[in-house]
A = this chain, B = another copy of it.
């Protein structure tokens, strides 16, 4: 069940919308019988109760409006025009971008339900004397801040975070519990880092060492990690430090959980990756790409801007043109799959036989 503010803390619909930056969203409110209901939370069209606001972002779900019990519903202009005149059981909010307005409302409710971490350093945190901690920073219990770290104003660290030597965190970042950042990492402002993520571990580099039969000599990883502004990094995601130069994560990049970014990868601004993606070393990804969950990208390849990779796809060579790319073996009932998979291993032979058939017909 979603959060519900206590009635005395909840705003009216007009006050709620007034407290959000709705510039450009073309907001207009109509509706009967409650033109200005109190809004205690947000719900989906099917689940929202009489204290909640809901939204219709996909016009194809228009039918769900009929049974909706919300106090208010956000709809796009084309829906607003067809519904506006009718006598509706909820307040109707017109908006050019209902999904974006939902995002902004959810942020508002989140900020008003969770106790904000107060500024201050918990007495169990271990802070090196050379670390520079700016104003209004929260450092939770059992954190460890090493030498020459700089933590920008307004940044908050949950319990058990570790920040290595000479690492720099920008302003107003939020590190959830137990984030680890190694030494020499740069993180921009307003980053959100989830629990268990590890930034700056050694890239995976070894040179064959013939003096040691079948053995390997470790290539120390001398680069760092450079993370732009407004980046979010999911739980247990790992971003390795570069071998010589830095691994680079652009501004506004969003990474889901359990993603692996290898050394010297470069990710362009505003690219988003769903969970369980692996990106091998030195690969370069453009701006505004989306990478579906459980995809893998080979090393030393380049993806241009606006490339969209479907989930579960292995990208093994350069992709220069914008567009959507897919490569997933279709699943089937096991017995059926066995028959088809067997033929996959004979495909080149099959093609030869087809050519022979064609020749015979000439």
Q: Is the CB–CB distance between A196 and B180 below 8 Å?
A: yes
With the chains together, A340 CA to B287 CA distance in Å?
29
Q: Which residues of B contact A1 (CB under 8 A)?
A: 223-224, 245-246
Interface residue total, chain A, C-beta cutoff 8 A: 149
Contact digits for A310-337, partner B, Cβ 8 Å, 1 yes 0 no: 1111111000000111111111111011
Within 8 A of B (CB), among A82-123: 97, 99-100, 102-104, 106-107, 109-111, 113-115, 122
By a CB distance below 8 angstroms, the chain B residues around A346 are 340, 351
Contacts known (A44-B245, A114-B183); A144 close to B126, Cβ less than 8 A: no
Could you tell me the distance between the alpha carbons of A316 and B278 in the complex, rounded to whole angstroms? 19
| Interface of chain A: mostly helix, strand, loop or mixed | loop
A269 to chain B, nearest CB (A): 7
Complex contact A198–B236 (CB within 8 A):
yes
A76 close to B (CB within 8 Å): no
Q: Which residues of B contact A313 (CB under 8 A)?
A: 331
Say how far A272's CB is from chain B's closest CB, in angstroms: 7
Chain B neighbourhood of A183, CB < 8 A: 114
Q: Is the CB of B214 within 8 A of A252?
A: yes
Chain B contacts of A243 at CB under 8 A? 106
Contacts A194-B201, A236-B236 given: A220-B340 contact, CB under 8 Å? Answer: no
Q: List residues of chain B with CB within 8 A of the CB of A207.
A: 97, 99-100, 102-103
Name A331's contact: one of B194, B222, B327 (CB within 8 Å): B327
With an 8 A cutoff between CB atoms, is A234 at the interface?
yes
Check if A59 is an interface residue, CB within 8 A of chain B. Answer: no
* Contact status A333-B325, CB under 8 Å: yes
- Tell whether A7 is near chain B: CB-to-CB under 8 Å: no
Contact present for B314 and A311 (CB under 8 Å): yes
| Between-chain CB contacts (< 8 Å), 29 pairs | A102-B207, A103-B209, A107-B220, A115-B147, A162-B177, A177-B182, A180-B235, A192-B218, A195-B201, A196-B196, A201-B234, A201-B257, A204-B275, A238-B257, A238-B258, A258-B278, A278-B294, A280-B311, A294-B296, A314-B329, A316-B331, A325-B333, A326-B331, A326-B334, A326-B338, A327-B329, A339-B347, A354-B354, A356-B358
